[in-house]
A and B are shown apart, each in its own frame.
Chain A
Amino acid sequence: MPHPFNPLEQMMKPQKTDTASIPFYRDERVLNTAAQIISTVAIFGFLVWAVINFLNAADARNMELSFKFLKEASGFPISNPPIDYEAGMTYGRAFLVGLVNTLLISGVGIVAATIVGTLVALARLSSNWLLSRIALVFIEFHRNIPLLVLLFIWYFVVFGFVPPVKESLVWPGPIYINKRGIYMAWPRLTETGSTFVILFVIGILVAIIAFIILRRIRKNTGKNTYFIPISIALAVVFALAGWFLSGGSPFAIDIPFLDGFNFQGGLRLTPEFAGMFLSLSLYTAAFIAEVVRGGIQAVSKGQIEAARAVGLSQFQVLSLVVMPQALRIIIPPMISQYLNLTKNSSLALAIGFQEVFAVGKITINQAGRAVPVFALIMLTYLSLSLLTSFILNLYNRRIQFVVR
């Protein structure tokens, strides 16, 4: 005899879903659809409203919205352009100069910031208390003041008080420092120098290919293929061949000399470039130092001890155990620091170093086409950062732990 009230049975009974009893304003499907429609209308409505306003404004002010002006002649000079440029060339060319300047300052800034940052991180990890404290002061100083203030200090204070040309500071090298910039000796290619450079580059490429192939063979067969010495030897052989083919003198050292009121020859860094370079790379170096320190500290001590216990040498411990694990942690934030540095190079506007943003600003003032110029500037930075995040994603996929 069944129990008069069996809760289990009650629950087991197929329930009739009674949709009619749910009011439509609590039905999830209705709500979702409504949210879709409302959000779509709101966002597109807002965008359309903005675009209509914009078209009206463009009409009222007779603004031209094309990129034709890039082919028109610009009227402004750019001091020390890295590629050929003079006032009267096209706006497009001026923009290209700005782009090269941005890439140049970012490139050298990234290299310098990485080297200084790594050194500071190692100093911070040093067992010498004094050295570690000095590194800490460097890091805390740079991390807690705005980059713009640091830039003004380097540009207006440090480079603002250097002597005029006639009383240049002379540093060994020789490096001359004066109001017009920093002049230093620099190797320049001689006529036959290009042979050397071409062979040198080929040598490096061949060495890299040999390295990859030989290492793969070793990985697959287990035989020692001596991939490191062989690839280094290849690079050296090609470089030596280039050296002899170019007559033994691919480079000539170009030493700056005083000629009248100015220095000639050598490499000249303008005060704007030098100020921007120093503040940008020191500022970023402080952040990189923290990234590197965090990465190295994250490798557990047991890993190092275990590596020693199985008989790896000091160098092998570093290169096979510590660095691969530390780099896995270091590289992603490092790349975002590189991206920050590139974006921060736009501050050069404040001291008149003419990179993308500064050139764009002058173009707006002269040609009056604010919208296309801004579109161009934003596109430039966006493609730089998209490229960076693409590389970062590739890397992340490569180093991801393989989880079975």
Chain B
Amino acid sequence: MAIKELDQDIMRPPQPPGLIKWIRDNLFNGIMNSVLTIILFPAVLYLIYLILNWILVTANWRAVSEFPMLFAVGQYPRDQLWRVGVIFSGLIFMLGVSWGRWGGLLRMITMVVVGFLVLIAVLPVQHPALTVQMRLYLGGNLVFAALGFLIGKKTKLKEYLIIIFWFLIPVGGIILLAGFDSSAQLPAVPTTLWGGLMVTILLAAGGIVLSFPLGVALAFGRRSSLPVVSAFSTIFIEVIRGVPLVTILFMFSIILALFLPAESRIDRLVRALMAVTVFSAAYSAENVRGGLQSVPLGQIEAAKALGMGNFKTTVFIVLPQALRAVLPAIVGQFIALFKDTTLVVIIGINDFLGIGRSIINSDPEFVQMRTEVYIFMAVVYWIFSYLMSLASRRIESALGVESNL
């Protein structure tokens, strides 16, 4: 009898942990933890209640909800907004193409972005900025993304072609946004009028796209056997990494002009972009250098034995392995760059944060609503960087590299 019972005990499959067991294991394991839970639980509930109450009842979101276009594009002339629209839709289209071609993570990104746009398009509220045209445009991006997806999926586009287009859009975009002095259809729009999230994204994307090749070049320069190149790269990297970004921004906005011929004029947004690029490149260079060091010498020797030249060895053997090893660090650097673009406020550029500050200071009534504006901006920045870090984690697990942080 007893043996039979024991038998049954052994044979019983392990029960999936129930809710009660989970609570006991994770919240009430031990006296200390029980006391802690009993104290913390109501405190957390109360805090959530306070936050929700503030968001939904107390807070006055007028300072945010009245100026959606200011937050998006700053003072960019409203009759020229189609240019921003064209570039934005171009990006959405390329996102669709890349999703069709590569799938994976890009699917999530496209869906989140397009889903967000469609959500705004069908928002059942009356708002002066949400005209019928605007709703149609926002919803229309769904079509662009779908079109891109089909093209990427059905036609066997070469991968490098897609990548070239990704680089062409920002370059063409900046030319389109800036316009031409002598053109009637595309009048010049001075960068003093650019602002909002557009400038933030422009600085971050431009910085990422430009700083990465520069960083790779600096990393190779530092490891170069040419003493002048190596010394120059090392000093450049260490000096930039040794000083705060604010210093670099001011250097480029005040001092750079002194080192260039007197007649040359560089636009102030371009100077800010240069500063952000140079700063980020120095950090990328160190990351890439770490990756280069991790490639075993045998790989290079094997490539040489196969008769590959220096260039081929570097591009096809060393660099892919090096970059793969340090991808998490590089993406982390990009997130940091995105957050660092806020510092351009200090040199008077109206990026997303700058627009928020000017709205607050434009009216004594809005000064009283600064809490709402700052919280709104914090949330937007948070969402962007969180999505980036989420993406980086996905890439890491896809590549099978472990982040060391």
List chain A positions with a Cβ less than 8 A from chain B. 32, 35-36, 39-40, 43-44, 50-51, 53-54, 56-58, 60, 126-131, 134, 140-141, 143-150, 152-153, 156-157, 160-161, 290-291, 294, 333, 343-344, 346-347, 349-350, 357, 361, 364, 370-371, 374, 377-378, 381-382, 384-386
Contact = CB atoms under 8 A, between A and B. Distances in A.
B165 interface: no
B137 interface: no
Contact of B262 (A56, A128, A291): A56
B258 A378 contact: no
Given A50-B259, A134-B44, A127 B33 contact: yes
Given A39-B229, A130-B41, A149-B342, A160 B246 contact: no
A127 B26 contact: yes
B385 interface: yes
Contact of A357 (B26, B247, B404): B247
Contact of B37 (A130, A343, A361): A130
Interface residues of B, number: 56
Contact of B36 (A43, A130, A374): A130
A378 B40 contact: no
Given A148-B343, A148-B353, A128 B27 contact: yes
Closest 5 CB pairs of A and B: A129-B26, A343-B244, A146-B339, A385-B242, A144-B385
B46 interface: no
State the main secondary structure of chain B at its contact with A.
helix
B289 interface: no
Contacts of A382: 239, 242-243
B362 to A, nearest CB: 15
A141 B29 CA distance: 28
A39 B241 CA distance: 24
B381 A291 contact: no
Contacts of A53: 258-262
Given A156-B374, A294-B405, A386-B242, 12 more contacts: A32-B225, A54-B259, A149-B377, A150-B378, A152-B374, A153-B374, A294-B404, A347-B246, A347-B343, A370-B258, A382-B243, A385-B242
A107 B22 CA distance: 43
A57 B44 CA distance: 61
Interface in B184-224: none
A54 B254 CA distance: 13
Contact of B353 (A131, A146, A384, A386): A146
A316 B91 CA distance: 59
A103 to B, nearest CB: 15
